[in-house]
Structure 1
């Protein structure tokens, strides 16, 4: 089940969201575990201690001196395995184009209206239920211990060719890395093209895990991995990231 964590330092806006979530639960016959915060530091402490998974964060973009987008990036970095989705709430729609490093799944403009919140929660819930039914895994052989690994696709951060002669490939995940023997193109065919992109002749990344794109490199979240970016593929990567962000926005409109 999904768990909601809402953070907004505007008490009136927070009360309105609390009310709307309660209405949603009644109308859709669902019971979220929901936690509300008016201080980002309280949310951080909750995330540090929480044993729950599949947390949906609803964050105000502007909270006093704090930038909700930057805070979301830090939360993704430190507690990515606990977070299912991030939804930004703001009076400033232009912030959406600064937010791809936080991997948002939706954007709600203030003043918050029930219909908008209802649609975005229903989309996230439907996607969650679909993913639980159809969770994609990849079966690969780990040459370090000669065992078969079953890896959830969404846990992959990056895939890199280590040695083209013996076809050794490193797969970096949230909590470990493994080495396999395979062709990169064969592995690429197994991956969801919506979320994976080849940024260099020997590197494939999960775009949901991108922290920043800089000159000649891509910074990934979780382990602060820095990967080479082909000059010829930079524009395609930026376009793909923009499309990924906007698709999340459109689904919630």
Structure 2
């Protein structure tokens, strides 16, 4: 199945695409957005396989959004739709997998979906071996090199970051955002403004009596908080 998000500022255009997609048993519309900002909010909660994106919208246009999507660590496939043919070159420079002119026909949409079902750029890259990021920490008078596979979690502090490994923890300079950029491709996920954890180490997510969510991380004694902002994204990552 292809999980698909439709982005168009015209409700009738979104409704037409929904009807056309209903004829494809391998396609499942999991979300809609009427603007670039709404799409970004939606992607915090779910990461679809395919985004069908209008180019001319109120506010930020689709080409800008397409370039932003292409820069994400795990970008979805992307099909642009527009009433104007002159954007084709810019669309494909934004790494589009398809370019459809309105009104979109069922045949054109079917062909574009088939193209999107082929491995995406992110999927091809994920199949290639890539070096594990390393982190240098101080252990007494010596320095130690940690591989990503050794690290359980990172926690932001006032003037640096605490790094958790089994039975030990280290303090490093820098910011959690910098570490997220380095370690997210190695399987780390931001679960809270102060926490970045190894997805492979997540045992369970629990909800307490007052509605807060916490992670049980294998190898780490303390529970890790999950923010409301990140909860949907974390749950989507765990369902894959």
* Bigger relative CO (Cα 8 Å, ≥ 6 apart): 1
- TM-score normalised by the chain length of structure 2: 0.50
Which of the pair is proportionally richer in helix?
Answer: 1
Q: Which has the larger radius of gyration?
A: 2
